[in-house]
Structures are given as structure tokens and as C-alpha cells.
């Protein structure tokens, strides 16, 4: 944690709120989110290259993460690190001027386009043009990581207006041996057991699918470092698929320590939160997140398609890692198009997601399976200042009611989700009561 350099205002805000309010509340200001999104948005990220490195540099200034580089050609599990790709600029012009220029949007270039300079007729060029006929004003996001080609992405309205003539292609990219970069931050806690949070960092000018996961992960890193936590927290900022695979290949021993994990992406759109269960389906994180989203969000069962939960949950690793998003990928019209821009995301939606995650982390920190240290008869709460002095019917929402539920289920076989579900009390109230009982020496 010594390398962690927090924004002063940011960290002191966190400490103040954590100490005064037992239930998790995100201290992250919406303007901090908005500013960071705006800084990151123009960078031309990919699975490798300068745009991704520049992104990690900005994150490193915020949280002091370590940047790892894995050389082109390195074997990582069943994969090999590809050549590194960076965009300088790509311009397509035609008889009546510039048609696409990555200065205005880096979505215009197909990711991993090889360099190309030359003149083409429209017929030949059209094999290299991509558009969305059903969304004719939007630029699609396309990549070709493993098959060498080049291409431009255009609004279909622009593409269909192109007439015969000579078109100049000027793609100034670098595609050559180099390295894959990823960021990692371990915040040690009292235990060596870890909570893993991972997000992908390989999408260019797309705000929801990529950047909101990055800022939420960064905010959680700041929370983890604000005071010494029970668990150690590991944060990964990795290119999708190949980056997660590269990390797993280098961390066969580390994965043994991961007790809970989340993949974060797409947290800023207008949809309710959705949680995709780990492959196990019954991990503690699955129980927690499913409970927190009852009536408020969507619970999805495991499927082998999606983000890096596919790698963390592959049978050889089988980690207890679920995924939190809002609208699931591919289900909203802005997905992987130029409409997934800064105005599409709402910082308040990101902070609401962070709040929910922090409630889950609070439960993990509190010890998910409480055990009463005074299980023989009810302990005398009044003597400890935990029960009101005037008798009468107990209000079902009261603190005393929560204390009784906790004590009655704290047999080591029931977890905090059981207590919340059986009592009908919010998990945050159960957590507050667990802290009171622990302070009073009644709960292990």
C-alpha cells in the first residue's frame, strides 16, 4: 500500500464517511468520475499499445498501480501475446474531402489495422468499410486482433453516400513485436486471503463498456486503501481476454488466495444493475450480490459468454468471481457504437453501483458466517447497553430486533444473508448489528 498515492480530498473524504457511517456509502464525487471519464475517453486503447499504456499511466497517478509488460510471443496458458498495436492517425479521404479521421473519433479505425497507404476505387475499398445499416448515424466499434487486415468504421449514412472515384487511405499504425501491458494493485489487509476486482482496459472511445468499470474499480481501490482491511484486495486493469489470461498464467499461486471476486463493466447506463453468477453459482459473492439485488436488479446465471469472468471461472481455476454490470453487453442499442459516449453515462449510476459493491464488501469484511460467543440462552443485552430499558412490544425494524436475529442464527451454519432474509431486515442493518455485537464481545 506504500505506493498508493491518493488524491488528498478523495482519501480524507473516504475516511470521514467510513468512520461515521457503518453501512457502505460511496464517497466518490460525481465530478471526480466525470473528469476521469473525460480524461480517458479520447485515448485509443486496444489489447496492447500506447493508448492502453497512457490509460494505465493515468490510473497509476491515481492509485499507484504496478504496470506489467508481457512480451510479444510469450506463451500464456493456451494463447500467445500478439504483436503490439498503436495508432498514430488514420484518415480516409475521397473525391469530396475527408470521410473519416481518427482525430475526430478513434472508432473510425478497425482496431489492430495494419499500416496502409494508397489509393483505392470504391469497390475495392468497400471490403474494408464497416457500418451499421440499422443504426445509420452511428459509428460501429470493430477490431481484428488475430487476422491481419485494415479497415474503417463509418456511419452508414456516410458510407451509403460515397460515390465512384478515387479514395486515399492513410493508416499510420504500428503493428510490431512489443508487449502487452496491464495494471495491478494489491492492497494488503490483515489476512492474506484476497478479494479480486477486475476490469478491462482495451476499448477505445466507448464510455460505458470499459471506462465506467475502470473508474468504479479505481474507486474501490481507494476504499480498500483508506484503512487496513481484513481482506487483501487485488485490482486488475487488464485487456479483455488476453490480459486476464496473461495475469492468470503469471499468478497460479495467487489464485489460491482469492475468496471472492467481481468483474466490473458497463455501470453507467440507465438500466438497473445486473449480476452474473460465477460458474459455481453458489459462491458467497453470488449469495451476497443476488440478495442485494432482489427487487432492484437482474440476476443472471452463469454462461460461458461475456467478459473476463470466463477466464477466472474456467474449470481449472474455478474462482468465485461474478460480474456486475447494468444493461448486459449486447442488449442496448448504444453498445459498441459511437453512441456509447460520455453523454450516455451517468456518474450517479456509477456511484450507486459502487455503493452496492461496498455493502457486499462490508459484509465480507464483517465475516460472512457469524458465530455467537454466548450461545447458551440469550445474552443479557441491557447490561451491555444494547437493549432499551423500557419493556413492551419490539418494533420489527428496530436495532434490538436485528441483534436478536443475529444472535439466534449465529451458530456458524448461517451467514449474514440468511440473517437478512429470515429477519426481513436490510443487510446494511444486519451489518451494523454485527459490529455492535462484535464490539460487545458477543460475536466472533
Candidates 3-11, 62-70, 208-216, 345-353: pick the segment binding Zn ion (CB under 5 A).
Answer: 208-216
In whole angstroms, the minimum distance from the beta carbon of 19 to Zn ion comes to: 38
Q: Which of 209, 286, 308, 415 binds Zn ion (CB under 5 A)?
A: 209
Candidates 146-154, 201-209, 241-249, 414-422: pick the segment binding Zn ion (CB under 5 A).
Answer: 201-209
In whole angstroms, the minimum distance from the beta carbon of 335 to Zn ion comes to: 7
In whole angstroms, the minimum distance from the beta carbon of 202 to Zn ion comes to: 8
In whole angstroms, the minimum distance from the beta carbon of 380 to Zn ion comes to: 57
Candidates 31-39, 205-213, 216-224, 317-325: pick the segment binding Zn ion (CB under 5 A).
Answer: 205-213
Contact map string, positions 94 to 113, toward Zn ion, x by CB under 5 A: --------------------
Give CA–CA dist 241/272, Å, rounded: 26
Return the number of the residue (209 or 362) whose C-beta is nearest Zn ion. 209
Candidates 20-28, 50-58, 181-189, 204-212: pick the segment binding Zn ion (CB under 5 A).
Answer: 204-212
Residue labelled with grid coordinates 456509447: 340
Return the number of the residue (189 or 243) whose C-beta is nearest Zn ion. 243
Rg of the chain taking only CA atoms, in angstroms: 25
Candidates 207-215, 292-300, 374-382, 389-397: pick the segment binding Zn ion (CB under 5 A).
Answer: 207-215
Candidates 128-136, 209-217, 373-381, 409-417: pick the segment binding Zn ion (CB under 5 A).
Answer: 209-217
In angstroms, the Cα distances linking 96 to 90, 126, 155, 265 are 17, 17, 17, 40
In whole angstroms, the minimum distance from the beta carbon of 266 to Zn ion comes to: 8
Return the number of the residue (291 or 336) whose C-beta is nearest Zn ion. 336
In whole angstroms, the minimum distance from the beta carbon of 323 to Zn ion comes to: 12
Return the number of the residue (209 or 308) whose C-beta is nearest Zn ion. 209
Residue labelled with grid coordinates 468465485: 320
What nine digits make up the cell of 334? 448504444
In this structure, the chain runs to a length of 444
In whole angstroms, the minimum distance from the beta carbon of 337 to Zn ion comes to: 11
Candidates 38-46, 203-211, 218-226, 271-279: pick the segment binding Zn ion (CB under 5 A).
Answer: 203-211
DSSP one-letter string for 8-20: HHHHHHHHHHHHH
In whole angstroms, the minimum distance from the beta carbon of 118 to Zn ion comes to: 31
DSSP one-letter string for 134-197: TSTTSPB--B-SSS----EE--HHHHHT--SSEEEEEEEEEEES-EEEEEEEEE--SSS-EEEE
Give CA–CA dist 155/44, Å, rounded: 19
Give CA–CA dist 247/239, Å, rounded: 10
How would you classify the pairing of strands 166-176 and 194-200?
Answer: unpaired
Return the number of the residue (209 or 222) whose C-beta is nearest Zn ion. 209
Return the number of the residue (182 or 361) whose C-beta is nearest Zn ion. 182
Per the CB < 8 A criterion, the answer to whether 107 and 203 are in contact is: no
Kindly identify the residues of this chain, within the stretch 278-337, that bind Zn ion according to CB under 5 A: none
Return the number of the residue (200 or 287) whose C-beta is nearest Zn ion. 200
Q: How many residues bind Zn ion (CB under 5 A)?
A: 1
Name, in order, each residue with C-beta under 8 angstroms of 243's C-beta and a sequence gap of 6 or more. 47, 180, 182, 200, 201, 202, 236, 308
Residue labelled with grid coordinates 498501480: 65
Plot region of 441 (φ>0 → left; ψ -120 to 50 → alpha; else → beta): left
Kindly identify the residues of this chain, within the stretch 245-284, that bind Zn ion according to CB under 5 A: none
Return the number of the residue (199 or 232) whose C-beta is nearest Zn ion. 199
Residue 437's CB is within 10 A of a number of other CB atoms, namely 25
Per the CB < 8 A criterion, the answer to whether 72 and 46 are in contact is: no
Return the number of the residue (109 or 403) whose C-beta is nearest Zn ion. 109
Contact map string, positions 390 to 429, toward Zn ion, x by CB under 5 A: ----------------------------------------
Name, in order, each residue with C-beta under 8 angstroms of 217's C-beta and a sequence gap of 6 or more. 197, 198, 199, 235, 237, 264
Kindly identify the residues of this chain, within the stretch 14-73, that bind Zn ion according to CB under 5 A: none
Return the number of the residue (203 or 287) whose C-beta is nearest Zn ion. 203
Quote the Cα angle for 70-337-302, to 5°. 65
In whole angstroms, the minimum distance from the beta carbon of 265 to Zn ion comes to: 7
Positions in the binding site for Zn ion (CB under 5 A): 209
Amino acid at each position: 500500500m506504500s505506493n498508493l498515492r491518493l488524491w488528498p480530498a478523495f482519501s480524507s473524504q473516504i475516511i470521514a464517511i467510513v468512520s461515521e457511517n457503518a453501512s457502505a456509502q460511496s464517497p466518490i464525487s460525481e465530478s471526480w468520475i466525470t473528469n476521469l471519464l473525460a480524461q480517458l475517453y479520447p485515448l485509443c486503447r486496444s489489447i496492447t499499445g500506447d493508448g492502453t499504456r497512457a490509460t494505465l499511466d493515468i490510473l497509476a497517478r491515481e492509485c499507484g498501480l504496478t504496470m506489467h509488460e508481457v512480451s510479444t510471443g510469450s506463451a500464456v496458458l493456451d494463447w500467445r501475446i500478439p504483436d503490439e498495436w498503436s495508432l498514430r492517425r488514420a484518415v480516409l479521404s475521397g473525391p469530396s474531402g475527408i470521410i473519416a479521421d481518427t482525430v475526430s473519433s478513434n472508432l473510425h479505425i478497425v482496431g489492430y489495422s495494419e499500416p496502409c497507404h494508397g489509393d483505392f476505387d470504391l469497390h475495392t475499398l468497400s471490403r474494408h468499410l464497416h457500418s451499421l445499416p440499422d443504426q445509420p448515424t452511428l459509428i460501429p466499434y470493430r477490431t481484428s486482433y488475430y487476422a491481419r487486415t485494415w479497415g474503417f468504421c463509418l456511419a452508414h449514412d456516410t458510407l451509403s453516400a460515397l460515390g465512384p472515384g478515387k479514395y486515399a487511405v492513410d493508416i499510420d499504425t504500428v503493428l510490431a513485436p512489443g508487449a502487452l501491458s496491464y495494471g495491478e494493485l494489491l492492497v494488503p489487509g490483515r489476512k492474506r486471503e484476497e478479494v479480486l476486482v477486475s476490469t478491462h482496459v482495451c476499448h477505445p472511445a466507448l464510455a460505458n463498456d470499459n471506462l465506467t468499470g475502470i473508474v468504479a474499480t479505481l474507486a474501490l481501490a481507494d476504499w480498500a486503501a483508506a484503512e487496513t482491511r481484513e481482506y487483501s484486495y487485488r485490482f486488475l486493469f487488464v485487456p479483455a481476454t488476453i490480459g486476464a489470461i496473461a495475469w492468470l498464467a503469471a499468478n497460479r499461486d495467487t489464485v489460491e488466495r482469492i475468496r471472492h471476486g467481481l468483474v466490473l463493466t458497463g455501470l453507467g447506463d440507465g438500466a438497473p444493475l445486473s449480476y452474473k453468477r460465477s460458474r459455481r453459482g453458489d459462491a458467497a459473492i453470488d449469495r451476497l450480490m443476488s440478495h442485494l439485488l432482489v427487487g432492484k436488479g437482474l440476476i443472471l446465471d452463469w454462461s460461458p459468454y461475456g467478459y473476463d469472468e470466463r477466464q477466472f471461472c474456467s474449470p481449472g481455476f474455478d474462482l468465485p468471481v461474478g460480474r456486475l454490470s447494468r444493461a448486459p453487453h449486447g442488449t442496448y442499442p448504444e453498445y459498441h457504437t459511437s453512441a456509447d459516449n460520455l453523454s450516455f453515462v451517468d456518474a450517479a449510476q456509477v456511484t450507486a453501483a459502487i455503493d452496492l459493491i461496498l455493502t457486499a464488501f462490508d459484509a465480507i469484511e464483517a465475516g460472512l458466517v457469524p458465530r455467537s460467543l454466548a450461545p447458551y440462552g440469550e445474552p443479557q443485552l441491557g447490561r451491555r447497553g444494547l437493549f432499551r430499558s423500557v419493556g413492551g412490544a419490539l418494533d420489527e425494524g428496530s436495532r434490538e430486533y436485528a441483534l436478536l436475529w443475529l444472535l439466534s442464527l449465529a451458530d456458524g451454519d448461517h451467514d449474514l444473508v440468511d440473517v437478512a432474509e429470515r429477519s426481513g431486515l436490510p443487510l446494511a442493518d444486519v451489518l451494523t448489528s454485527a459490529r455492535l455485537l462484535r464490539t460487545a464481545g458477543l460475536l466472533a
